[in-house]
Amino acid sequence: MTSSDETSAGAPAPRRQARGQRRIEEILGAAAQVFVRDGYDAATTNAVAKEAGISPGSLYQYFRNKDEIAHGLAERFAAGLAELQAAAFDGVDPLSLTLEELVRRVIDPVVAFNVAHPAFKTLFARTDPPPGLAEATAPLDASIHERAARLVAARAPHLAPDDAQRVSVVATQIVRATMPLVVAASGDERERMAAEARAALVAYLRAATG
């Protein structure tokens, strides 16, 4: 789907060839590196193009601006994360697990994903993203929050809808905030930090869902 949503068909949306699809992947990969190296705000489209080994003109044949690159990356991340989560709950009823086990199955893949894709947190783990980035990552945020809300609703059906909403927002925020700490740690320290993140989430959920 990568950047094919045409609201008002200004441009006829070119039919991509295999080469073009490859280029898009290369650009997203390069963008991820640049976002990690320079941060999203300081990242420039020219730097992304250079990192990808192409000219600025070529880049703009696939993405109309920096936010759209972020949008493409966010879509890629959302898909990867969804797949990982699906695998973690493959044929398992979330209700049959202890809270500790549930949290572990949620957090551990997320940790692994963050370690494997350090650019993820430059898009997702921001408390006050600039407007353009917020728009680009909205679908990613939505899909993550929906999964969280579904789990909370399943585990605490007695909660009023807006209470459940608050709980899932806070829980998501706890994960969002602790993930950079886990990723920043290395060696043994990382697993200890991950354990701490899980403990925080378990403790909060236990308290909030009675």
- The interface partner of residue 180, options being DNA, its own copies, none and the CB cut-off 5 to 8 Å by kind, is its own copies
How many chain residues are in contact with DNA, going by CB under 7 A?
A: 26
Query: Which range in 44-52, 108-116, 165-173, 183-191 contacts DNA by CB under 7 A?
Result: 44-52
**Tokens linked to 192:** 């200890």
How many chain residues are in contact with its own copies, going by CB under 8 A?
A: 33
Phi, psi of 19, deg, nearest 5: -60, -40
From 1, 18, 160, 207, residue interacting with DNA (rule: CB under 7 A): 18
Q: Exposure pattern of 67-104 as b/e (b: 16+ CB <10 Å)?
A: bbbbbbbbbbbbeebeeebeebbeeeeeeeeeeeebbb
**57 vs 161 by CB, closer to its own copies:** 161
DSSP state for residue 13 in the 8-state scheme? -
- The interface partner of residue 76, options being DNA, its own copies, none and the CB cut-off 5 to 8 Å by kind, is none
- Contact between 114 and its own copies per CB under 8 A: no
- Contact between 157 and DNA per CB under 7 A: no
For residue 50, what are the CA distances in angstroms to 42, 55, 120, 131? 15, 7, 21, 26
Q: How many beta carbons lie within 10 A of that of residue 16, not counting itself?
A: 14
**In the stretch 55-74, what mask flags binding to DNA with x, by CB under 7 A?**
xxxx-xx--xxx--------
- Contact between 155 and DNA per CB under 7 A: no
- Contact between 166 and its own copies per CB under 8 A: yes
Cβ contact 164:208 at 8 Å:
no
